Structure 1
Amino acid sequence: MTFQPIGSKMQVVAIGGGGGATCVLHAVVSFAASRSAVIAVTDTGRSTGLARQIGAMPAPGDLRATIAAFAGDRLMAEALNHRFDGAGVPALEGMAFGNLLIAALNRLTGDFATAIEHTARLAASTVRVLPVSTANATLCAVLADGTRVEGEFGVRAPGKPPIARLFLHEPADAYAPALDAIRNADLVVLGPGSLWTSVLACVQFTGVAEALAECRGTVAYVCNSTTQPGQTDGYRCIDHVRRVVEALGPGVLDAVLINASEPDPVVLHSYAEEGLHLLRPDDDEIASIRMLGVMPLVRELVREAGPRRALWNKQDTIRYETEALGTALYEIVTMKGAHNG
């Protein structure tokens, strides 16, 4: 892989769900000349699921949230994220206006990517927001006991056997401009976010793993701060990294960023009661990660655990501090650049 001289402005691509990609792209603003988000489209959440039915389209929710997070027009950002209270129309309770807008534009233009592009333009988004695919795909999984589950909600449901394998109900191609962005990036960041239903879900689309292998720059994975019920129960950091390496193929993932800080014990206890356990690697895990051909970078990423967010049928987790994440990501690309030089 080639690398631009250290200190030059870079093209950065974040891959995954809306929350993780937003976190990464905010973090790299000081050293990125251009920022692009390649966003998962297999969500079946409440508002997103209904919008998918209305528009017969891929999941718009994470794309809408990402556009709103980088909107230059603040009123438009609030409008995109505005949720109806269902007064008089119970079916609309919790529906985000932006999801309806994307569904309408999809119907009018006949093209999901065009609908996303128009929405980003209306909001004056400062980053390029791309769907990983324009296919209306269904995420599926085979569990450890051989059971097959369909739909993103089923894949991430808690209380089931561990996920053994992820796949799409029908094979689908990735969106060509998203693949081009990945290939031409100086830094591609997968995660943080749901390992199976955001990060690995994106890799299921034909062409994504190949584009990452062809990427001219550094490919990095940001490991989550905690385990996630229904997806990574009992996982360690090495288990997360191993799953990503298996999905991408050998020699593709250059580095992994792992949190080393430990929040207040009271905060940790409250998360643990909900099945979310802090991820901190030991020396054996670090050695095992290196044996996979991946450079581990363990840094303090959590400065202070903020207020909990109310998420529909999901659990909030310990979030990374923007400046700390940006510093660590820059360290990854400079270390890789120095090594290549």
Structure 2
Amino acid sequence: MSQPDLPSLRLVALGGGGGSAQVLLGARPFFAGRTAIIAVTDSGRSTGAARMIADIPAPGDLRNLLATLAADPDSPLARLMQYRLRSSALPLLDGMAVGNLILAGLAQMEGDLATAVAMARQMLACPEQVLPVSTANTRLCAELADGRIVVEEAAVRALGKPPIRRLFLDPPAAAHPPALEAIAAADLVVIGPGSFYTSLLATLCFDGVVEALRATPATVVFVCNTTTQPGQTDGMTIADHVARLVEVLGPGVLDVALINDANALHPAVAARYSAAGLHPLLVTDADRQAIRTLGVEPLVRELAESDPGPRELWNKADTIRHDPQTLGLALWKIALDRAG
């Protein structure tokens, strides 16, 4: 197959709102077609309240992505999408992101979340296509290592529980057909970075997604997280992350694991995150060999952004984010190298 021209390259980012935003912002100079397929099973405080109010799938990751990818992220509408209400009189609305309510209202007005997202994307002039992985309002559940079942995303990522054995949806739900079509048409599918179980693997629970990834001619890349995640990946190595993803996808589906070189982190930064229970993931020779044994190519690059200091995230742990420009360039090189 001849190498495609730059304008023909199509990238699909699959996962949560934060990590997918880093991927898509970095991809802008290199990929003409850019699509996000975003998790919809979050049940945290603001998103969980919006789901309860409007009986919709989780809007929070979609809202965050739309606001970040807006043509002008500093516009009044983009800022309003991220603004959180303060209300001592109505605790349910205290801390509610206004954009969650906007998406809830649009979904009720138009009949489904996908249409709501398309309208919000138009309002914000986002250049990327943004799709929910599903329009079904379902619950993310997990079977733990001790056999217990936990229900809803907030419980799946709760602290102090046994490791997660498997994820499932209750009730089972199908993926949004345009999301599957985007995977089929992609040159590069990027899974991650993001909450490993509750965003990345959660999207793979919807009927049709794993099958689409198995069938696509695209190169499939896993962008590994920079740190472990309390309640999700405590004690897991980089090779453990890749092995679990390969277990879900099946052999021969995942092509590349793109790994941040955590040895480049300043020791003080690494110590600060470790003190909070987020341990930088250091790639070892044993990791590289284990990943190659799985049929996946490990690529190690310096991908982390300059330390911004601690960030206040709503009910979720901070992490070391990827630098969008460095990440986008690395993904472009992977796409070009594998297009020939």
TM-score class, shorter-chain normalisation, is over 0.9
Q: CA deviation at 1:257?
A: 0.2
Q: 1-side partners of 2:45 and 2:241: how far apart?
A: 27
Matches within 5 A, 1:282-293: 282-293=284-295
CA RMSD across the alignment: 1.4
TM-score (norm 1): 0.95
Amino acid of the residue matched to residue 281 of structure 1? V
Instruction: Give the SS at the match of 1:269.
Output: helix
Structure 2 counterpart SS, 1:258: strand
Q: Say whether the 8 Å CA contact 1:6–1:334 is kept in structure 2.
A: no
Q: Is residue 233 from structure 1 mapped to residue 234 from structure 2 by the alignment? A: yes
Question: Contact 1:133–1:205 (CA<8 Å) still a contact in 2?
Answer: yes
- CA shift, 1:334, in A, is 2.2
- Shift in Å, 1:304: 2.1
2:142 is aligned to: 141
Could you say which residue in structure 2 is the equivalent of 1:115?
Answer: 116
Aligned length: 337
Contact residue 297 and residue 332 of structure 1 kept, 8 A: no
Distance 1:303 1:40 in 2: 24
> Aligned runs of 1:1-341 on 2, under 5 Å?
4-5=3-4, 7-73=6-72, 74-86=75-87, 88-261=89-262, 262-337=264-339, 341=340
Q: Do the aligned partners of 1:3 and 1:217 also contact (CA within 8 Å) in 2?
A: no
Deviations 1:30-82 (A, max 9, x none): 11102111000000011110110111010000001111111125221111111
1:278-332 per-residue CA deviation (whole Å, 9 max, x = no partner) reads 1121112101111111111111112522122111221101111122211211222
Aligned partners of 1:36 and 1:129 also within 8 Å: yes
Deviates more, 1:212-221 or 1:52-61: 212-221
Paired letter, 2:27: V
Cα gap change, 1:33 to 1:142, in 2 (>3 Å):
same
- Kindly report structure 1 stretches of 4+ aligned residues shifted beyond 3 Å: 6-9, 87-90
Counterparts of 2:286 and 2:301, CA distance in 1: 17
Q: Is the 8 Å Cα contact of residues 81 and 96 (structure 1) preserved in structure 2?
A: yes
Structure 1 residue 124 displacement after superposition: 1.4
CA distance in 2, matches of 1:330, 1:34: 12
Q: Using structure 2 for the length normalisation, give the TM-score.
A: 0.96
Contact 2:9/2:32 (<8 A) preserved: yes
Partners of 1:50 and 1:9 in 2: CA distance: 41
**Contact between 1:12 and 1:187, CA under 8 Å: does it hold in 2?**
yes
CA drift of 1:335 comes to: 2.4
Q: Is the 8 A contact 1:200 1:244 kept in 2?
A: yes
Q: Quick one: which amino acid aligns to residue 43 of structure 2?
A: T
How far apart, in 1, do the equivalents of 2:191 and 2:17 lie?
12
